[in-house]
Structure 1
Amino acid sequence: MATNPQLIAKPKVQDPLFRRAVFTFSGSHFLNDLVTTGMVPALVVLYKHAFHLNYTQSTLVVLMSYLTSSVSQPLFGMFADRKPRIWLYPAGVFCSIIGLALTGLAPSLPWLLLFISISGLGSGAFHPEASRGTHLASGSKKALAQAIFQVGGNSGQAFGPLFVSLYITHSGIRGLLWLIPVAFLSLLLTGQILPWLGQKLESAKLNRKKVLKGTNNILGASLLSCVIILRSWCQIGVVVFLPFYLNNLTVQQSEILSFVFVGAGALGTFFGGLWADKIDMKRLLVISMLIATPFALIFPYVHGVLAVIDLLCFGFSVLSSFSVSVVYMQQMLPENIGMASGLSIGFGVGAGGIGSVFMGGISDIFGVATVFTILSLLPLAGSIIAAFLPNDRIKLKQQA
């Protein structure tokens, strides 16, 4: 008879995945990242010509977008840990889209940076609440739910350059004004899940210990943040500087190659979430970054179809740990889920904007080719740092 309570308790541990909520968060993540991390880097070429900017000034646009997003996300996350504010979820998506749309009316660089900052702050408000909601809707399938959520974001990043290539390059920057109705439509998508999210947060508050047990691992979180930052520098560096590096191609052709790179990363994100259930997250981080290294190294030396294949493999491998790193960070900081999401999705990824400005300065002095030499070494450095992360299997046993 002693075994019966254990048999009855098992279904409670295997909580089901709430698909409608997860796919809603994933869809809103698509819209948010389509305009922020997707379109902003791709628009740098057009902003450069429209406002007569040099490389450093051009990448300043990316810096303002990513800096406002990356700095604000951990702050929004900390506030959300103390008192969740579900209205930030729809408001964040709305501001991220409307901010970029208004850049179509910007009369000068300062106004451009202001509107970009509004978009970045919207993204910063969106991510912690959306990631928390995904965590609550995931049941016992944390990695899979985060993979679905992150695939939405990475798909937005992939389609951003494609949208710029197929539409904005023909319509001009004023074509961004058509994003205004999209911003209002996003409120319909995000608003329909708010009642469920409010109820779920209330129940989680009453039984907070069941959300995720354990104590914060500050050293592990710091090391993981370094890996995420290096991966972000690599990703954003490729997207921003690819059109400048392949100057023999048209803007449309280079943006399509960016779509190939980030689109392959979206596939890698999904499969990485599936593989995380079979191998530990630390091993996946080390292996994925290590595999990405040779593809990064050979890219400057291949052309044509081989370059496309190399970008596919490069994007797939380097971004396959994207969703896993979010779950991993939440395990590192179980007492602060919102801040963990802000660090892994916001601060770490947003640091790519800082790296892009640094690389822009290098491009002005040494040329764009030097940037790709630096980018080729970043995955290797990330793999080495990931090897010193604590074992997540041990962490899971401690939390059980």
Structure 2
Amino acid sequence: MSAGHACVDVYQGAVAALVPFLVSERAYGYAAASGIVLAASLLSSVVQPLFGVLADRRPMPWLIPLSTAAAGVGVALVGADAGYPATVAAVALSGLGVAAYHPAAARLVRTALGGGSGHSAMSWFALGGNIGFACAPLLVFAALSVPGAAGWWLLVLPAALGAFLNRPPAAARRRGGAGAPGAAAPEAAPGPEDRRAFARLSLVVVVRSVAFTGLSTFIALYVRERGGGETAAAVALFALFAGSAGGTLLGGRLASRWGRVTTVRRAYAAAVPAIAGILFLPLPLVHGCAALAAAALYVPLSLQVTLGQDYLPTRMGTASGVTLGLTVSVGGVASPLIGAAADATSLRTALLPLALLPLLAWALARRLPDPDPGAPGGGGLRGLPVDP
């Protein structure tokens, strides 16, 4: 499941990695280039929660490989260069594939593979997606080094591998594990829903999405603007994605020690100085700050998914669709605004608000109840929120 997730999320990273190419080779402005990211993300804001509702109502194992294929074909079609509207449509197809994949896959991980709280299984599953993100700039660089259309179609290879890994028979066998009827350890009856906590968690996810998507969209351009070459720009984007992979895996380990809500809150507090370092420290230090900022922003990722599932225990697919959908969509919606501000002022000025957004996420997370009974301040789902 983790490897299949990597093969899907490589296309989320590929869209961001294509932005410098589109700016330099097709003369797109900052706002137009960030509109490409918007096209990949906008459908997810509506479609991914809808696929989550469908996943709760009936199993659709065939959707996972089909959506994986759509994500790869959409990115490859960007190479046709049939004009800006066609490029937007191709990237939207890729975004639709990514949106269709996540709710069913995340629900499967929690119900059939997670067991108990599912921290470890969900963090490994999310780690696969982060590895895909991290590999995306290298994949795009290698593919575009091949002359002609052949290089663009090389971008389909991860989708072909992912469709094979997540083919319906394999998904059916996984579903027939811990979560199947007659399994050795039947699942406990779901607890009550906490819609107010889920709404607050959704706001936290929105803020985080804007911060990370803004960084991933513009950090390569920002490094180039400060005097770094193409290699330095690619390394900065790779450091951002690699840091996200480490942060995701670290999140599950920290949650076992501190509890999920405390871990989420502390991670957002740590993200503030890391993002500020990207904007104000000398260029050689930007790469390290990028890795630290991504780690801090990705420690909460898998924890927020399982928290959402615990707040809506009878609708895990819906909870997964909303939390994961907001993760990949809202930031894309905000990216054109950042691009327009960069066109009107400077890129550094436009990125300054990103350093304050984790502080807002921290403030919102202070009032989240923690359903982990053994965590500091835990058991708040039926009682009071965790201590600030």
With normalisation by structure 2, the TM-score equals 0.89
Instruction: State the partner residue of 1:130.
Output: 105
Deviation of 1:117 after TM superposition, in Å, equals: 1.2
Q: Residues 171, 386 of structure 1: CA spacing in aligned structure 2 closer, same or farther, 3 A cutoff?
A: farther
For the residue of structure 2 that corresponds to 1:80, the secondary structure is helix
Deviation of 1:205 after TM superposition, in Å, equals: 11
Instruction: State the partner residue of 2:47.
Output: 72
Instruction: State the partner residue of 1:363.
Output: 342
Is residue 287 from structure 1 mapped to residue 266 from structure 2 by the alignment? yes
Aligned amino acid, residue 107 of structure 1: A
- Superposed counterparts of 1:97-116, under 5 Å: 97-116=72-91
Is residue 322 from structure 1 mapped to residue 301 from structure 2 by the alignment? yes
Instruction: State the partner residue of 2:18.
Output: 43
Match of 1:159 among 135, 156, 179: 135
Deviation of 1:287 after TM superposition, in Å, equals: 0.4
Instruction: State the partner residue of 1:273.
Output: 252
Q: What are the Cα deviations for residues 61-111 of structure 1, in whole angstroms up to 9, with x where unaligned?
A: 100101122321100001111112111111111111111112111311111
Instruction: State the partner residue of 1:28.
Output: 4
Q: What are the Cα deviations for residues 314-352 of structure 1, in whole angstroms up to 9, with x where unaligned?
A: 222221111111111111111111111111111233211
Is residue 352 from structure 1 mapped to residue 331 from structure 2 by the alignment? yes
Is residue 311 from structure 1 mapped to residue 294 from structure 2 by the alignment? no
The 8 Å contact of residues 228 and 349 in structure 1, kept in 2 or not, is answered as no
Instruction: State the partner residue of 2:198.
Output: 221
Q: Hey, what's the Cα distance between the residues in 1 that align with 2:117 and 2:370?
A: 19
Q: Hey, what's the Cα distance between the residues in 2 that align with 1:334 and 1:179?
A: 37
Q: Which has the higher helix share?
A: 1
**Paired-residue identity, %:** 27
Match of 2:180 among 203, 207, 211: 203
Q: Residues 199, 90 of structure 1: CA spacing in aligned structure 2 closer, same or farther, 3 A cutoff?
A: same
The 8 Å contact of residues 55 and 363 in structure 1, kept in 2 or not, is answered as yes
Is residue 245 from structure 1 mapped to residue 227 from structure 2 by the alignment? no
Q: What are the Cα deviations for residues 161-220 of structure 1, in whole angstroms up to 9, with x where unaligned?
A: 232344426657762211234433332211152231453598369999926611221211
Deviation of 1:124 after TM superposition, in Å, equals: 1.0
The 8 Å contact of residues 46 and 169 in structure 1, kept in 2 or not, is answered as no
Count matched residues. Answer: 374
For the residue of structure 2 that corresponds to 1:103, the secondary structure is helix
Between 376-385 and 302-311, the greater mean CA deviation after superposition? 302-311
Q: Hey, what's the Cα distance between the residues in 2 that align with 1:59 and 1:251?
A: 19
Aligned amino acid, residue 27 of structure 1: A
Q: Hey, what's the Cα distance between the residues in 1 that align with 2:237 and 2:55?
A: 34
Q: Hey, what's the Cα distance between the residues in 1 that align with 2:36 and 2:355?
A: 24
Aligned amino acid, residue 293 of structure 1: V
Between 179-188 and 143-152, the greater mean CA deviation after superposition? 179-188
For the residue of structure 1 that corresponds to 2:191, the secondary structure is coil
With normalisation by structure 1, the TM-score equals 0.87
Q: What are the Cα deviations for residues 21-71 of structure 1, in whole angstroms up to 9, with x where unaligned?
A: xxxx11111011101x21101101212333332211111110010112232
Aligned amino acid, residue 257 of structure 2: K
Q: Hey, what's the Cα distance between the residues in 2 that align with 1:60 and 1:343?
A: 22
Instruction: State the partner residue of 2:386.
Output: none
Q: Hey, what's the Cα distance between the residues in 2 that align with 1:374 and 1:204?
A: 50
Q: Hey, what's the Cα distance between the residues in 2 that align with 1:50 and 1:121?
A: 26
- Superposed counterparts of 1:140-151, under 5 Å: 140=116, 142-151=118-127
Q: Residues 308, 213 of structure 1: CA spacing in aligned structure 2 closer, same or farther, 3 A cutoff?
A: same
